[in-house]
Amino acid sequence: MPRKRHGRVRTKHTNGRAALLLSTMNPADYNVRPGEVRTIACPDCRTWRRIMGDTVLKVREHRIDTVGQGEEPTPCPGSDQLVVIDIDVRRWQARQDRLLRDAMPQENRRAAQQFYKPFPTPAAPVHRLASREPQTLVRLVRLLEQTRHAGLAHRVNCSLCRGGGRCETGRGLEIAFQEMRATCWIAREQQARARRLAIQQMREARAAQESTRRTQLLLAGQADQLRRAVPQGGRPTEGPEVPMVPLAPRQAAEQLEGDQLTCGHCGATASSLVDAVSAGWCRITRRPHCGRCAARFPAWTRTSF
pLDDT-based confidence at 50, cuts 50/70/90?
very high
Higher-pLDDT residue of 203 and 161 is 203
- Average pLDDT value over all residues in the chain: 79
Answer whether residue 141 is part of any domain.
Answer: yes
Answer whether residue 11 is part of any domain.
Answer: no
Report whether pLDDT(256) > 50: no
Of 43-52, 116-125, 127-136, 262-271, where does the model show the most confidence? 43-52
Answer whether residue 127 is part of any domain.
Answer: no
Q: Which residues contact 188 (CB under 8 A, 6 or more apart)?
A: 137
Q: Give the phi and the psi of residue 195 in degrees, each rounded to 5.
A: -65, -45
Does residue 170 sit in the same domain as residue 212?
yes
pLDDT score of 1: 46
The 10s digit of each residue's pLDDT in 69-110 is 667 788 898 888 999 999 999 999 999 888 888 877 766 666
Look at strands 82-84 and 20-21 and give their pairing.
parallel
The count of other CB atoms within 10 Å of the CB of residue 80 is 21
pLDDT-based confidence at 220, cuts 50/70/90?
confident
Does residue 98 sit in the same domain as residue 151?
no
Q: How far apart are CA 136 and CA 146, in angstroms?
A: 15
Does residue 206 sit in the same domain as residue 264?
no
> Looking at the chain, which runs of residues are DSSP E strands?
20-21, 30-31, 39-41, 48-52, 57-59, 63-64, 74-75, 82-84, 261-262, 269-270, 282-284, 287-289, 302-303
**Run of H or E including 132:** helix 126-132
Please give the tally of structural domains in the chain: 3
Mean pLDDT throughout 55-69?
81
Mean pLDDT lowest for which of 124-128, 185-189, 233-237?
233-237
Q: How far apart are CA 81 and CA 75, in angstroms?
A: 13
Mean pLDDT throughout 238-255?
48
The two counts, helices (H) then strands (E), for the chain are: 8, 13
Does residue 139 sit in the same domain as residue 100?
no
Does residue 208 sit in the same domain as residue 147?
yes
Answer whether residue 229 is part of any domain.
Answer: no
Q: How far apart are CA 73 and CA 70, in angstroms?
A: 10
pLDDT score of 150: 85
Answer whether residue 50 is part of any domain.
Answer: yes
Does residue 203 sit in the same domain as residue 141?
yes
Which domain covers residue 271, as residue numbers?
Answer: 257-303
- State pTM to two decimals: 0.34
Answer whether residue 15 is part of any domain.
Answer: no
Helix, strand, or coil (residue 48): strand
The 10s digit of each residue's pLDDT in 152-190 is 888 888 878 777 777 888 888 888 888 888 888 888 888
Q: Give the phi and the psi of residue 295 in degrees, each rounded to 5.
A: -65, -20
pLDDT score of 211: 92
Mean pLDDT lowest for which of 15-19, 77-81, 244-248, 275-279?
244-248
Are the C-beta atoms of residues 148 and 154 closer than 8 Å to each other?
no
pLDDT score of 166: 79
pLDDT score of 252: 45
pLDDT score of 295: 83
Does residue 138 sit in the same domain as residue 212?
yes
**Run of H or E including 181:** helix 168-228
Alpha helices in 158-167 (DSSP H): 159-162
**Run of H or E including 174:** helix 168-228
Strand order in the sheet with 57-59: 20-21, 82-84, 57-59, 48-52, 39-41, 30-31
Does residue 139 sit in the same domain as residue 210?
yes
Report whether pLDDT(276) > 90: no
Report whether pLDDT(40) > 90: yes
**Domain stop point among 183, 216, 249:** 216
